[in-house]
Structure 1
Amino acid sequence: MRAVMRRDRLREQMVADVRAAARAVIKTQGVETLTLAEVARRVGVTPAALYRHFEDPPLADIVRQAAREVTAEITGLLQSVADAQPEDDYAARVVEPSRAFRRWALAHRREFALLFGTPTAAAGSAQVDVTSDWVRRLAGVWGPEFVKLWAARPYRILDDSELDARLREQLAAYRAATGVDIPLGALVVMLSCWRSIYGAVALEVFDHFAPMITDHGPMFELLMRDLVTTLGLGADYRPPDGALPAHSG
């Protein structure tokens, strides 16, 4: 029994060391440079040894596990930021995690690319798992906020009859998979908000507007104000410094 327990502990340590090595490569060089040989070299084993501890192909499984760890960290951060806001400040519970997501992305550009960038050869067959994992975990952060907002202060949505049948089917599947139990039209608004946030952050992370626009902060705050206005919360928007926004005329 002791031998089995020791073997299990060694295996757990090996897996943890491999994940740490993979993340170190991803952080400093990007996931596209990740190879089984480099991970093995950093851990001090042969590439063949990794086949005994990870699913085949092992590189894809290593990427899957590294991405899962990154996803857990970022969603944990977003949840803690949301939880720090007053329960009835629905605008802050949307805006503050969005700001935290942007800050995290800019500080972890290569890990952002791992989760939200173009699929890479290193991920291979694990790419579907990587995407599914962050979709569900992000829904676990954003979804409850929109459920509470919808219950307290319903916002303007499209009726089901106004949605394309293909969209209705996909939204119903998303709702069933994530447990975000709000009308399909409300889901459209929630996912549209996420699409706008992701698009703005991705453009900044990947420097797609450089060198014309280098300070994206003001543009991002315009987006935050527009999103909460869409949700009927425009009067509750607060800029990052906490001051009341200026109103014209």
Structure 2
Amino acid sequence: MATPGRRERMRAQMSAEVRSAARQIITRQGVDAVTLAEVARRVGVTPAALYHHFEGGLPDIVYQVAEDIVDDLVRTLQSAADAHPEDNFAMRMIEPVRALRSWAITHQPEFNLLFGTPSAAAGDAHAELTSAWVRRLAGVWGPIFVQLWTERRFPVLAEDEMDPRLRQQMLDYGADTGVDLPPGAMVVMLNCWRSLYGQIALEVFGHFAPLFSDQEPMFELLMQELVRGMGLGDQYQPPTR
């Protein structure tokens, strides 16, 4: 493999500096505070110069920062899953969700970028950004559900009981993400994600505060209910303190 030349190294360094500067702004002030002028000021170039490295301008920068955030997040979630044996399906599902909740609470601006209302800074790139991280997250939980379905079938809707539109959407989702599950099992996986994401979002956006100062018990109860529904209640382990 050829060694990158000086120009390529300089471009890579500038790209890293720009993404780092934009991420700092997002982390401290939120994505709506990101502007070309502020990013350029932080890296010591003109706003026009940024287009030499990010042809799409600000949305391109925000998109690439989001990719960096997702890379870090996926590594964290995968590490949490891999901390448990492959046959402990419940904990390989639960531990990454615990890690996601912890990350969301402590990284709310980044959570808002990935999961919140589309921002003006992301522009038209936001739809593509959302699709990209959905596929990446499917890569964390999808293989666990596939292995579980292969080794220990759980109750699912029969295909002839499903709305044809729902069945087609499940087939399309599987084709897009590479998660090889029958439509009924895919519904179970996505229902789990929908329930857990909803619980995390309610907490992160403060919808239950100040009525519930500690929402972890409700969160853990939901996870217990979900794994019990798949016949994995005996594998549940409470969080360590």
Give the TM-score normalised by structure 1. 0.93
The reply to whether residue 147 of structure 1 matches residue 151 of structure 2 is: no
- Give the Cα separation in 2 of the matches to 1:71 and 1:214: 29
Percent identity, please: 60
1:1-16 equivalence runs, <5 A: 5-16=5-16
Displacement of 1:241: 3.0
Q: Give the Cα–Cα distance (whole angstroms) in 2 for the partners of residues 91 and 183 of structure 1.
A: 20
Corresponding residue for 1:69? Answer: 68
Q: Structure 1 residue runs of 4+, over 4 Å off? A: none
Counterpart of 1:40 in structure 2: which amino acid? A
Q: Does 1:130 align with 2:139?
A: no
In 1, Cα distance between the equivalents of 2:26 and 2:229? 37
2:38 aligned residue: 38
Deviation at 1:87, TM superposition (A): 1.1
Unpaired stretches in structure 1, ≥5 consecutive residues: 243-249
Deviation at residue 230 of structure 1 after TM alignment: 1.3
What is the rounded CA distance, in whole Å, between the counterparts of 1:39 and 1:162 in structure 2? 53
Aligned positions of 1:205-244 closer than 5 A? 205-241=204-240
2:174 is matched with which residue? 175
Cα deviation code 1:187-237 (max 9, x no counterpart): 000001111111111111111111111211111010110111111111221
How far apart, CA to CA, are the structure 1 residues paired with 2:79 and 2:240? 20
What amino acid is aligned across from residue 67 of structure 2 in structure 1? Answer: R
**Partner AA of 1:12 in structure 2:** A
1:52 corresponds in structure 2 to 52
1:190 maps to amino acid: M
Instruction: Say how many residue pairs are matched.
Output: 238
The separation in 1 between residues aligned to 2:40 and 2:207, in whole angstroms, is: 35
**1:32-87 Cα deviation digits (max 9, x unpaired):** 1111111111111110001111122x100001000011111111111111111011
TM-score, with normalisation over the residues of structure 2?
0.96
Q: Secondary structure at the match of 1:204?
A: helix
Query: Quick one: which amino acid aligns to residue 212 of structure 1?
Result: L
In structure 2, runs of 5+ residues without a counterpart are none
Tell me the distance in 1 between the aligned counterparts of 2:52 and 2:96. 40
SS at 1:53 equivalent: coil
CA distance in structure 1 between the partners assigned to 2:49 and 2:33 by the alignment: 20
Q: Deviations over 1:107-164 (max 9, x none)?
A: 1111011100111110001112211111110010010000011111110000111111
Amino acid in the other structure paired with 1:165: P
What's the secondary structure of 1:124's corresponding residue? Answer: coil
Amino acid at match of 2:52: R
1:27: which partner in 2?
A: 27
